[in-house]
C-alpha cells in the first residue's frame, strides 16, 4: 500500500505543478451546469451585442449537454431532466439563431416542457429571467414594495436582514418587478406555446397577516418622506453601483450581474452605457476553457482553489520554500481583503482580514476561504512579519464572525432572522439567510484547533462544539450546506471536533463514524446524490466519487489510530478513481441552491484525494 499511496501523491503533486499559472494561482473551472452559458446568450441577444464567436461556442456546449431524450439535467442521476434547465437551454438556443427549432431533439425538449406544465412551473429565478426578457409576466410573489429599501437596519424587513448574496439578487429583481420592466428584440423567440396557465389561475402572492402588518408598519415610518417611491429607486440604484467590483460585475456573481444589467435598463440606462458594457465584459471574462468546450462560470474559484491547493501540497510534504508554495502564497497574501463590506453591519467592531472566493471579489469575504488561506500561509507567518500580520488579522476576523448560537455562517454574522425565510417563495430559506452550518462550524474548529492552537477550553470553541452536538442528525450525520451534503458535513464536523480535543470514543463521534461505515460502498468508496440537498436527507449515489470518498476517508483517519480495513478499502478506491475519467469524476459535489444549482469544481478530484492520502501517509506510514 505504501508504494501505491506514494505514487498517487507524487502523481497529484506533479499534475498540480504543471497546472499552476505564472502568477502563482490555479485557474480551475467552476462548472455550474448550463445556466450561465444560456443566460449569457440571452443577455447578448437582448442587448443586441453580436459576439458571434462566443455565442457559437456556448451553443455547442449547451447542445453537447442535451440528453438523448431532449432534456437537460443538472446532475447525472436526476430523473428524466430538469424543467428549468431545459427551458433555459431551449430558450437560449432559439434566441441564438443557430439551432433549428424543428430538430428532433429540440422538438423533444419542447414536448418535455409542455408535459411538465410549461413556464409556470419553472424555478423563480428562471421566471425572473423570462420576465426581464418579455417571455413571462412578473410573478406576483416578487412584488414587494421597492420602498422597503429605504428602511434602516433596526426596522424589521429591511434589506440588510437578508444575507449579502440574497440582497444583490433581490434588489435588482425588486427594481424590475416594481417597474414591470421587460425587454424584447426583433430576434426574440416566441415562447407563448410554452405558457400553459392563464395569469389569473396562477397562485397569487399572499403574505401571512403578520408579515403584511410588519411591512405596513415599517412603511408607515416613511410617511414623512417626500416622493418615497422615487427616492427608493434612487437608493436601489446607489445600492447596486456601490457594490460593483473592478471587473464590472456585481459582487463577482454572474447571476447577480445578469439581473443588475436589466435593472439598470429599467432605471433608464442605455444598452451601450459604460456601466452595462463593463458589466457584460466582466461576465465574458468568466469564460473558462477546457479541453472540449468553453463555459461561463458563476464565480471564478481562483482564491478558493489556490488556497486549498497550497494547503494540500504542504500537507503532502511539499516544503514552504518550494517555488510552487512561494508563488501561491504570495498570490494569496495580495488577495487578503482590507475593505469594509456589508458584513460590517452585523459585526461593527471587527476590522477586515478575510479572503473572498474570486479574484475580483474585494468586499465580500467568507469564512471558508479565509480559514483555508490561513492554513496555507501559516508556515510563512513563523518567519515573515507581513504574513504574520495577515494571519493574525484573518484569525481575529474569523473569530469575530461567530454567530450568537455558537456556529459559524458563510458570509455574514447573525443574518438568520426567521421571518425573512418565510416569504412564499419555494426554497427561500436557503438563500435569504446565512445561519450556522455544520460544514462551516466544523472546518472553522479544525482551523482553530490545528492551526491556531485553541482547544475545547476556549470560550468560542466551546460554543462551536455545543452547536455541533445540538445539531447532529439522529442517524449521527451532519448536514453540510456548501457541499453534497451529509458526507461533507459529517467530515467537517468530525475533523473539527477532533482538532479541538474531543476524543475518538466520544458518543457523538462514534455515532457519526458508525453512520459513515454504514454507507460505504462495495468498491470501498462513498457517493452521495445531489438529491440529498433538496430532500434534506441522505440519498446514496449509485457510484463513488473522488471528493466524497476523500471526505469520508479523511474523517476516519482523524478518528482511528491505525489503518482499519475500511480505511484501506477507501484509500484503494481513491487511488483507483484517480485513473478514471467518467461521470463519477465529473459529478457535482459543490452545493449552491438546493434543487437548482450544483457545482463541479474541476479541482476537487485532485485536492481532496491528495489531502486524504497525505493524512493517511503522515499518520499511518
Q: Which residues are catalytic?
A: 368
Q: CA-to-CA distance for 319 and 163, rounded, in angstroms? A: 39
Strands laid side by side in the 590-593 sheet: 30-31, 597-601, 590-593
Contact 58, 37 (CB under 8 A): yes
- Compute the distance between CA of residue 480 and CA of residue 368 in angstroms, rounded to an integer: 13
Q: Which three cell numbers stand for residue 299?
A: 464565480
Can you state the angle between helices 302-315 and 604-620, rounded to 10 degrees? 20
Query: Are 549 and 607 contacting, i.e. CB atoms less than 8 angstroms apart?
Result: no
Return d(Cα 533, Cα 304) in angstroms, integer: 22
- The grid coordinates listed for 604 are 476537487
**How far is it, in rounded angstroms, from Cα 371 to Cα 172?**
31
**Alpha carbons 343 and 364: distance in angstroms, whole number:** 8
In the numeric block, which cell numbers belong to residue 447? 482551523
Of 229, 238, 134, 125, the closest CA to residue 180 belongs to: 134
Nearest to 264 by CA among 227, 234, 299: 234
DSSP sequence for 122-151: S-HHHHHHHHHTTSSPPPGGG---GGGGGS
The three-class DSSP label of residue 175 is helix
Tell which residue, 45, 44, 30, 91, has the closest CA to residue 286: 30
CA–CA separation, 12 vs 18, rounded Å?
10
Long-range contacts of 197-206 (CB under 8 A, 24+ apart): 197/117, 197/118, 197/120, 199/137, 202/120, 202/139, 202/140, 204/140, 205/139, 205/140, 205/141, 205/142, 205/143, 205/424, 206/424
The 3-state secondary structure of 390-427, one letter per residue: HHHHHHHHHHHCCCCCCCCCCCCCCCCCHHHHHCCCCC
235 in Cβ contact with 167 (< 8 Å): no
CB atoms within 10 A of CB 344: 16
Distances in whole angstroms, Cα of residue 214 to Cα of each of 156, 209, 225: 7, 9, 19
| Residue 556, strand partner residues | none
Alpha-carbon gap, residue 538 to 536, rounded angstroms: 7
* Selection from 430, 527, 433, 443 nearest residue 485 by Cα: 527
Amino acid at each position: 500500500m505504501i508504494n501505491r499511496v506514494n505514487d498517487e501523491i507524487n502523481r497529484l503533486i506533479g499534475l498540480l505543478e504543471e497546472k499552476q499559472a505564472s502568477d502563482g494561482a490555479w485557474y480551475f473551472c467552476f462548472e455550474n451546469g448550463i445556466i450561465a452559458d444560456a443566460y449569457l446568450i440571452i443577455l447578448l441577444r437582448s442587448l443586441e451585442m453580436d459576439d458571434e464567436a462566443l455565442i457559437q461556442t456556448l451553443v455547442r456546449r449547451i447542445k453537447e449537454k442535451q440528453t438523448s431524450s431532449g432534456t437537460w439535467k443538472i446532475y447525472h442521476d436526476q430523473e428524466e431532466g430538469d424543467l428549468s434547465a431545459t427551458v433555459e437551454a431551449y430558450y437560449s438556443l432559439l434566441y441564438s439563431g443557430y439551432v433549428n427549432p424543428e430538430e428532433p431533439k429540440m422538438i423533444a425538449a419542447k414536448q418535455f416542457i409542455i408535459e411538465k406544465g410549461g413556464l409556470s412551473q419553472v424555478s423563480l429565478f428562471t421566471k425572473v429571467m423570462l420576465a426581464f426578457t418579455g417571455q413571462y409576466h412578473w410573478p406576483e410573489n416578487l412584488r414587494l414594495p421597492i420602498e422597503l429599501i429605504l428602511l434602516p437596519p433596526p426596522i424589521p424587513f429591511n434589506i440588510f436582514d437578508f444575507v449579502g448574496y440574497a440582497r444583490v439578487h433581490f434588489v435588482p429583481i425588486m427594481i424590475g418587478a416594481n417597474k414591470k420592466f421587460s425587454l424584447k428584440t426583433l430576434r426574440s423567440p416566441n415562447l407563448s406555446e410554452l405558457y400553459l396557465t392563464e395569469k389569473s389561475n396562477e397562485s397569487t402572492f399572499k403574505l401571512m397577516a403578520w408579515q403584511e402588518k410588519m411591512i405596513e408598519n415599517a412603511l408607515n415610518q416613511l410617511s414623512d418622506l417626500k416622493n418615497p417611491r422615487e427616492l427608493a429607486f434612487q437608493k436601489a440604484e446607489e445600492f447596486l453601483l456601490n457594490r460593483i467590483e473592478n471587473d464590472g460585475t456585481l459582487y463577482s456573481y454572474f447571476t447577480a450581474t445578469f439581473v443588475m444589467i436589466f435593472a439598470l435598463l429599467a432605471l433608464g440606462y442605455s444598452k451601450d452605457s459604460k456601466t452595462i458594457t463593463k458589466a457584460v465584459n466582466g461576465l465574458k471574462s468568466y469564460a473558462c476553457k477546457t479541453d472540449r468546450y468553453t463555459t461561463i462560470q458563476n464565480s471564478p474559484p481562483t482564491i478558493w482553489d489556490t488556497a486549498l491547493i497550497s494547503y494540500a501540497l504542504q500537507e503532502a510534504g511539499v516544503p514552504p520554500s518550494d517555488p510552487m508554495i512561494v508563488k501561491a502564497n504570495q498570490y494569496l497574501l495580495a488577495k487578503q481583503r482590507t475593505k469594509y463590506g456589508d458584513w460590517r453591519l452585523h459585526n461593527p467592531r471587527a476590522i477586515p482580514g478575510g479572503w473572498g472566493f474570486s479574484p475580483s471579489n474585494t468586499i465580500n469575504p467568507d469564512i471558508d476561504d479565509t480559514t483555508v488561506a490561513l492554513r496555507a500561509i501559516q508556515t510563512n507567518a513563523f518567519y515573515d512579519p507581513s504574513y504574520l500580520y495577515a494571519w493574525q488579522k484573518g484569525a481575529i476576523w474569523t473569530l469575530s464572525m461567530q454567530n450568537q448560537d455558537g456556529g459559524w455562517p458563510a458570509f455574514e454574522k447573525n443574518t438568520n432572522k426567521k421571518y425573512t425565510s418565510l416569504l412564499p417563495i419555494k426554497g427561500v430559506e436557503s438563500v435569504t439567510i446565512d445561519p450556522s452550518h455544520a460544514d462551516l462550524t466544523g472546518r472553522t474548529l479544525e482551523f482553530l484547533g490545528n492551526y491556531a492552537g485553541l482547544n475545547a477550553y476556549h470560550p468560542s470553541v466551546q460554543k462551536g462544539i455545543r452547536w455541533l452536538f445540538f445539531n447532529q442528525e439522529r442517524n449521527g450525520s451532519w448536514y453540510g450546506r456548501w457541499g453534497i451534503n451529509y458526507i461533507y458535513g459529517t467530515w467537517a464536523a468530525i475533523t473539527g471536533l477532533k482538532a479541538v480535543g474531543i476524543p475518538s470514543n466520544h458518543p457523538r463521534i462514534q455515532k457519526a463514524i458508525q453512520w459513515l461505515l454504514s454507507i460505504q460502498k462495495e468498491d470501498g468508496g462513498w457517493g452521495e446524490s445531489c438529491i440529498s440537498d433538496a430532500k434534506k436527507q441522505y440519498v446514496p449515489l449509485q457510484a463513488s466519487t473522488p471528493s466524497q470518498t476523500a471526505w469520508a476517508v479523511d474523517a476516519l483517519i482523524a478518528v482511528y489510530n491505525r489503518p482499519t480495513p475500511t480505511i484501506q478499502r477507501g484509500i484503494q478506491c481513491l487511488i483507483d478513481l484517480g485513473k478514471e475519467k467518467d461521470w463519477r469524476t465529473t459529478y457535482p459535489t459543490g452545493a449552491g441552491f438546493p434543487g437548482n444549482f450544483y457545482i463541479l469544481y474541476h479541482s476537487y478530484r485532485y485536492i481532496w484525494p491528495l489531502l486524504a492520502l497525505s493524512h493517511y501517509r503522515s499518520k499511518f506510514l
